Amino acid sequence: AGPVNEALKPLCWLIGKWKSVCAKGQYPTIKPFTYCEEMEFISVGQPMLNYKSVTWHPEKKNPMHLESGFLRIKPGTNQLAFMVGHNFGITTLEEGTVGENCLDLKTTAIGRMCFAKDPAVTEVTRHFQYCPESQHLQAVVCMATCNTPLTEHLRITYEKSC
C-alpha cells in the first residue's frame, strides 16, 4: 500500500481493521438487538481511506448490514466526505470534520433505489471517538426516517484487530 498519504495525518488513529467488542442496535420502531461487526479503513497511498463494514448475527452468524465506500479528506484541512453504499438499497454521502481522536459526519445526500425497503432514511449522523488509553473506538450512529425523527440506531465499541 506504500506510505500513508500526508493528507490523512488527522485520520491516522482510524486507519486499520476494527472488530466489535460490543455492538447494540435500537430504534423506536424495532426490538433492540446485538450484532458482531468487522470494519476497516484501509490506506492505499491515496488521500482517502477505503472503507468496508460487515456485520453478522451473533448466534446464527448470517450476514446482516453491509457497507462499503470511501472516506475522503480535503487535503490540508479537517474536512471529510464519506461515500457509502449500503446493501439494503441506499447510498449515503456524509460530510463533516475530523478532530483530535474524533470525527463527526452528517448526510448531505441520500440515494435510494425505487424498490428499497420502507421506511425511507432521511438523515444519518455518525460520531466516532477514539480513546488512546483503552485503544477502543466508539461509534454512535443516529438516523431519521420518513416516520421517525433523528434517533440513535447503533452504538458500537471496537478494538483494533490488526
Q: Which residue number, 5 or 129, has a Cβ lying nearer to ligand HEM?
A: 129
Q: Is 153 in the site for ligand HEM (CB under 6 A)?
A: yes
Q: Is 146 in the site for ligand HEM (CB under 6 A)?
A: no
Find the binding residues for ligand HEM in span 20-79 (CB under 6 A): 25, 27, 29-30, 33, 35, 55, 64-65
Considering the complex, what minimum distance in angstroms separates the CB of residue 26 from ligand HEM? Answer: 9
What single-letter amino acid sits at 151?
T
Considering the complex, what minimum distance in angstroms separates the CB of residue 88 from ligand HEM? Answer: 7
Q: Is 13 in the site for ligand HEM (CB under 6 A)?
A: no
Is residue 20 classed exposed, middle or buried when 0-12, 13-18 and 19+ CB atoms within 10 A define those classes?
Answer: buried
Q: Which stretch binds ligand HEM (CB under 6 A): 5-13, 72-80, 128-136, 145-153?
A: 145-153
What are the cell numbers at 50? Answer: 477505503
Determine the distance from the C-alpha atom of residue 161 to the mean position of all C-alpha atoms in its chain, rounded to a whole number. Answer: 17
Phi, psi of 35 (to 5 degrees): -155, 175
Q: Which residue number, 46 or 50, has a Cβ lying nearer to ligand HEM?
A: 50
Q: CA 67 to CA 35: how far, in whole Å?
A: 15
Tell me if 120 sits within 8 A of 111, measured CB to CB: no
DSSP string, 55-103: EE-TTT--EEEEEEEEEEE-TTSSEEEEEEEETTTEEEEEEEEEETTEE
Q: Which residue number, 4 or 66, has a Cβ lying nearer to ligand HEM?
A: 66
Q: Which residue number, 1 or 146, has a Cβ lying nearer to ligand HEM?
A: 146
Considering the complex, what minimum distance in angstroms separates the CB of residue 104 from ligand HEM? Answer: 14
What are the cell numbers at 161? Answer: 484487530
Tell me which residues touch ligand HEM (CB under 6 A). Answer: 25, 27, 29-30, 33, 35, 55, 64-65, 119, 121, 124, 141, 143, 145, 147-148, 153-154
